[in-house]
Amino acid sequence: MPIEPSAIHAARERIAGRVRRTPLGASRSLTERCGVPVALKLEHQQVTGSFKVRGATNAVLALSDEQKARGIVGVSTGNHGRGLAHAAKEAGVRCIICMSSLVPANKVEGIKALGAEVRIVGASQDEAQEVVDRLVADEGMTMLPPFDHPDIIAGQGTLGLEIVEDQPDVETVLVPLSGGGLIAGVALAVKSLRPSARIVGVSMERGAAMIQSLRAGAPVFVQEVATLADSLGGGIGLQNQHTFAMVRDLVDETVTLTEADIAEGIRHAYWHEMEIIEGSGAVGLGALVAGKVRPIGPTVVVLSGRNIDMTLHHRLISGDTVEV
């Protein structure tokens, strides 16, 4: 394993007091529907509205003084950018975020409001990455990637420690899956404390880069496509160093959702749980509602973020079929 459970415990101490320890709440409606206790990890209540600030804060605080003085750069579909911007501002570090033009306007504004500089470049994360590479080479800034970095994975893993603390008998954990930083950290944390627990990764059918890579046995290029789960877009990197192997070795099962399933997850969150959740954050709910995962034993669903365009959210919960 590229990281040990001890790295997650160290991350927890480093970020304590700087990110929220989010609550775990029982879902009465899913408990009735599934016939097992189902609880929701309310991580959309995290500062910046998603778990990404855990990894970002851990990674920024782990930099040397020299690195902090030169600043950080990142590529982001939105939530990672928000996390980096917040973490950098709190630590008094300069931050530039590069992103593709597919990123929704609410996310761009959110990042600017957190004090970071934003550069919009091209229609894919890979193109934005080239600009980042130049800033690293020319200005000595440090690039912090959204998932494939030990400090990022360890930071996301702190969420897994909290799950087992609050639900010690957990048997199934549903986790949104894109680049795999979240699920790798959560799986390592949960299994280190509760080896019998089953970790299930949930992605969208449109452009599930990690799942296609797992099937191929190595990281593959996957075309980025617009989806309601926009925070799950993007590749895993053909040179993936950490998350591909961790997901392959630690994740027990993966499932993919249609756009209609994702919309149902968002609707379920609102009408039954009274929570506003973005598409990517609602895929665990969507998987249970669609019957695509059979929950065995006490089950925890990670609600990973809430940063959705509110006009889109309003249309979805009103019953519209939305093509993105």
* Residue 65 C-beta: closest distance to ligand PLP, Å: 28
Taking each helix axis as running N to C, give the angle between helix 209-216 and helix 243-250, from 0 to 180 degrees, rounded to the nearest 10.
70
CA 97/CA 136 separation, integer angstroms: 12
**Which of 142, 178, 240, 299 is close enough to bind ligand PLP by CB under 6 A?**
178
Instruction: Judge whether 220 and 213 are in contact, CB under 8 Å.
Output: yes
Q: How far apart are the first and last CA of the chain?
A: 38
How deeply is 270 buried, as exposed, middle or buried, from its count of CB atoms within 10 A (0-12, 13-18, 19+)? Answer: middle
Rounded Cα gap, residues 45 and 320, in angstroms: 26
Q: Could you say whether residue 179 binds ligand PLP (CB under 6 A)?
A: yes
139 vs 117: CA distance, rounded Å:
15
Q: Which stretch binds ligand PLP (CB under 6 A): 86-94, 103-111, 172-180, 219-227?
A: 172-180
Closer CB to ligand PLP, 37 or 55, in the complex: 55
What is the three-class DSSP state of 33? Answer: helix
Please name the residue that has the structure tokens 């890979």: 126
Binding residue (CB under 6 A) for ligand PLP from 22, 100, 172, 280: 280
Q: Least separation, in Å, of the C-beta of 187 and ligand PLP?
A: 11
Choose between 232 and 262: whose C-beta lies nearer to ligand PLP. 232
Residues 322 and 316 sit within 8 Å (Cβ to Cβ): yes
C-beta of 275 vs 278, nearer to ligand PLP: 278
48 binds ligand PLP (CB under 6 A): no
Q: Mark 72-101 with x for binding to ligand PLP (rule: CB under 6 A) and - for no binding.
A: -------x----------------------
Our finding on whether 50 is near ligand PLP (CB under 6 A) is yes
Stretch that binds ligand PLP, among 85-93, 97-105, 176-184, 268-276 (CB under 6 A): 176-184
Q: Is 147 in the site for ligand PLP (CB under 6 A)?
A: yes
Residue whose C-beta lies closest to ligand PLP: 305
d(CA 6, CA 80): 24
**Is 207 among the residues that bind ligand PLP (CB under 6 A)?**
no
Answer yes or no whether residue 231 interacts with ligand PLP by CB under 6 A.
yes
* Nearest one of 309, 235, 272, 293 to 75, comparing CA atoms: 235
Cβ atoms of residues 241 and 291 within 8 Å = no
Sites of contact with ligand PLP (CB under 6 A): 50, 52, 79, 146-147, 176-183, 231-232, 278, 280-281, 304-305
